[in-house]
Amino acid sequence: MTLAPEAVRSMFDRIAPVYDVMNRVMTVGLDRRWRRLAAESVVMPGDRVLDGACGTGDFALADRRAGASEVIGLDFSERMLARARSKAPDIEWIQGDLLALPFADGSFDAATVGFGVRNVADLDLALRELRRVLRPGGRVAILEITTPRGIVRPFFSLWFDRIVPVLGKVLPGGKAYAYLPASVKRFPGAEELASRLAEAGFGAVRFTLLGGSIVALHTGVAEVTG
C-alpha cells in the first residue's frame, strides 16, 4: 500500500524525534558510513549539491564533508527540517517536494537522496525532477533499502519485519515504523531502479549493494538532452 503524500508528511513529522536513533538501531550504526560512501561517490570539491528528502540532515552534512562548497537540503517535513537546522544552521534548509523541486533546470552539480525515494507517490517523476535540476554531466547518488539476497534474506526478514516495528513502538512516535517493511517490499529491486534511472535521463548508471545486500547505492550521470 502506498501512503498519500499528506500521510507520509504526517508520519515523518511524528517520527522526527526518534529518526536518528532508529537509523542507528536499524542499521547497527552503518548508515553514517553508507552516507559517507555515497557522498564521496558523486560530490567533487566546489560542487553545489542538493540533498533531496534530507530528513534530519545527515546526508547533507556528508555532502559538505565530501567537499561541496554549497549544500541545500530539501524535505517536506518541517519537523525533520527543524532537527536539521539544529545540526547545521549555516546550511540552507528548504521545505519542498521531490516531485516539484523549486529550482531552475541545471541548478546543481550533484544530488543525493538517502532513504527517501521509496516514499514518493511517483518514483519516475521524482527521478526526472532530479535529472532536471542537475547540469549536464551532473551526478546523482541514491541510497535506499532493498530486498536482500542469499543467506542474509531470512535474517533481514526477522529483523526488519518483526523486531524493528516492535522497537519503534517503544519510542515516542516510533510506531510509524510498522509502515517500513511494506514500503520496502513494494519498492523496485536494484536492477529495476537502475533501469528507471536510465529512463529518467541518467547514463553510466551503476549500483553497489551494501550491508550484506540490504541497501543499494545507485549512481548515475545526467545525460545531455536535446
DSSP string, 151-209: THHHHHHIIIIIIHHHHHHTSTTGGGGGGHHHHHHHSPPHHHHHHHHHHTTEEEEEEEE
- For the entire predicted model, the pTM comes to 0.89
Of residues 168 and 111, the one with the higher pLDDT is 111
99 CB-contact burial (10 Å; exposed 0-12 / middle 13-18 / buried 19+): middle
pLDDT tier at 173 (50, 70, 90 boundaries)?
low
- The average pLDDT across 70-82 equals 96
Q: pLDDT digit string (tens) for 129-159?
A: 999 999 999 999 999 988 776 666 666 665 6
Q: Residue 184 pLDDT > 60, yes or no?
A: yes
- In the chain the domains, ranked by start, together with CATH numbers, are 5-221 (3.40.50.150)
154 CB-contact burial (10 Å; exposed 0-12 / middle 13-18 / buried 19+): exposed
